[in-house]
Structure 1
Amino acid sequence: MTQHTGSEKIWLTQAKYDELKAELEHLQGPGRAAIVQRVSDARDEGDLKENGGYHAAREELGKCDGRIVQLKDILTRAEVGETPPDDGVVEPGMKVTYRFAGDDDEETFLLGAREMGGEDIEVFSPQSPLGSAIMGATVGDTVEYEAPNGKTLKVEIVNAVPYSD
């Protein structure tokens, strides 16, 4: 898991913020307590070297603790608010449609925190190469950015509208 050490803000809708906060409260309370109980029960079964249930429960506890740290970080850096204005300017909270220069295929994504994503939309971080290149661009602009493979790519902003979940 990558730990963010920066102070960059993460844009979240109020609904997503509330969902993540509820998940954190569950994990810190009954969720973690249930896993700790499974670790304790498995430990009481005897020989820990060959106790698969014990090792599985310990691993689950580690994942739970990692998610708690991640959620605290997200919620600390969250910028909760309504979607940005519908002015065609690319910024966090916008659903952006773009196409590569010379191509007719269009792709759409949400510019924001990956926690905002779902099965219906891909999410690009404002800190990603594409995300940082298009920040502040407007519909109709063509922007260049360097892809992770080192190639310079040109994209045209086809549309930018506020995201609704």
Structure 2
Amino acid sequence: MRKNYLSKEGYEKLDEELRDLKTRGRKEIAQEIAEARAKGDLSENAEYDAAKEAQGHLEKKIAELENTLATAQIINKDDINTSKAYLLSTVTILNKKTDKKMKYTLVSKDEANFKEGKISVDSPIGKAILGTEVGEKVSVDVPAGTLELEILNIER
């Protein structure tokens, strides 16, 4: 079974989302189903079909979150070696073509949020910089072409 490496904050966020889906989410879907059922004939009731489909999506999301949390291993930021870029490392990189600096925190796919500067270690850039040291240069193939990146700094 594959482990899901998460920060403590990431684990708590997913756990909170799971609890919300199990309580509020299930309650809302049950109400939608009850309202649709009250409208009569279920064989031609599009609202009922839509509510049942939404229930299926909700239950799938709940199962995925339960699996992620069950296989999670929480990583402590203080235990991370800063000599190389690892999960939960914050890495400053320089795009050699644009001469632009970017700062990303490497996280699992479950915690990735580009707006917060958190990129997945499974993303093309994340894979390329994982395990690198300060001063290393890497090439990354992305949909827009090839990026030439230099690792400027690694921190916790």
Tell me if TM exceeds 0.5. yes
Match of 1:3 in 2: none
- The CA deviation string for residues 5-61 of structure 1, in whole angstroms up to 9 with x for no partner, is x72x33322232123123223423453144124213311211343553x34422431
Task: Say whether 1:132 aligns with 2:127.
Answer: yes
Partner of 1:106, secondary structure, is strand
Which of the numbers 26, 30, 40 marks the counterpart of 1:32?
26
Task: Say whether 1:93 aligns with 2:92.
Answer: no
Instruction: Tell which deviates more after alignment, 128-137 or 22-31.
Output: 22-31
Match of 1:142 in 2: 137
The one-letter code of the counterpart of 1:91 is Y
Identity of aligned residues (%): 29
How many residue pairs were aligned?
154
The one-letter code of the counterpart of 2:39 is E
The one-letter code of the counterpart of 1:93 is L
- Normalising by structure 2, we get a TM-score of 0.78
- Normalising by structure 1, we get a TM-score of 0.75
- Higher normalized strand content (fraction of residues): 2
Partner of 2:118, secondary structure, is strand
The one-letter code of the counterpart of 1:22 is E
Does the 8 A contact of 1:91 with 1:135 survive in 2? yes
Which of the numbers 113, 116, 122 marks the counterpart of 2:117?
122
Unaligned 5+ segments in structure 2 are none
Task: Say whether 1:68 aligns with 2:62.
Answer: yes
For residues 139 and 13 of structure 2, what CA distance do their matches in structure 1 show? 36
Task: Say whether 1:14 aligns with 2:8.
Answer: yes
- The CA deviation string for residues 44-88 of structure 1, in whole angstroms up to 9 with x for no partner, is 211343553x34422431331121122123213322121153624
Unaligned 5+ segments in structure 1 are 1-5
For residues 45 and 34 of structure 2, what CA distance do their matches in structure 1 show? 15
What's the C-alpha RMSD, in Å, of the aligned pairs?
2.7
Task: Say whether 1:113 aligns with 2:108.
Answer: yes
- Higher normalized helix content (fraction of residues): 2
For residues 20 and 147 of structure 2, what CA distance do their matches in structure 1 show? 44
Q: Give the 3 Å change call, closer, same or farther, for CA 115–122 of structure 1 in structure 2.
A: farther
For residues 82 and 120 of structure 1, what CA distance do their matches in structure 2 show? 23
Does the 8 A contact of 1:90 with 1:137 survive in 2? yes
Match of 1:79 in 2: 73
